[in-house]
């Protein structure tokens, strides 16, 4: 059963920041991410490579499934604009979750 009581954009932002914290613990100084919705994941100001991006996306999927008991697949996305920043990643995740629970 899904855990909807804390399903908000704010809770997803915190979830993504938790992923950033975990990523930063295992990253070199030059590839650490800022905990800001404006942080670029893809594009000219990014500090991570494509493999790091895949790791972050996978970690978000796993945390969403663990926290809300709703599996989603962000990796199936073909529009890289969904991964431009932490905000666009959060918004796409929110959209997919809403679609899965029909709210």
- How far is Cα 36 from Cα 4, in angstroms, rounded to an integer? 25
Read off the pLDDT of each residue in 96-100 and give the average, rounded to a whole number.
89
- How far is Cα 87 from Cα 35, in angstroms, rounded to an integer? 11
User: Which pTM was predicted?
Assistant: 0.88
Torsion of CA 14, 73, 92, 59, to 10 degrees: 30
The pLDDT score that the predictor gives to residue 30 is 79
Tokens coding 1? 């059963």
**Within a 10 A sphere around the Cβ of 64, how many other Cβ atoms?**
24
Domains and CATH numbers, the chain: 4-101 (1.10.1200.10)
The yes-or-no verdict on residue 34 having pLDDT over 70 is yes
Q: Are the CB atoms for 29 and 95 separated by under 8 Å?
A: no
């Amino acid at each position: 059963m899904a855990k909807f009581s804390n399903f908000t954009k704010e809770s997803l932002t915190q979830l993504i920041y938790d992923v950033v914290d975990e990523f930063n613990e295992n990253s070199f100084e030059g590839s650490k991410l800022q905990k800001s919705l404006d942080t670029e994941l893809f594009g000219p100001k990014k500090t991570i490579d494509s493999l790091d991006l895949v790791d972050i996306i996978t970690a978000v999927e796993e945390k969403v499934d663990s926290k809300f008991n709703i599996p989603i697949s962000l990796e199936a996305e073909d529009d890289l604009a969904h991964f431009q920043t932490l905000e666009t990643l959060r918004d796409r995740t929110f959209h997919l979750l809403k679609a899965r629970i029909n709210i």
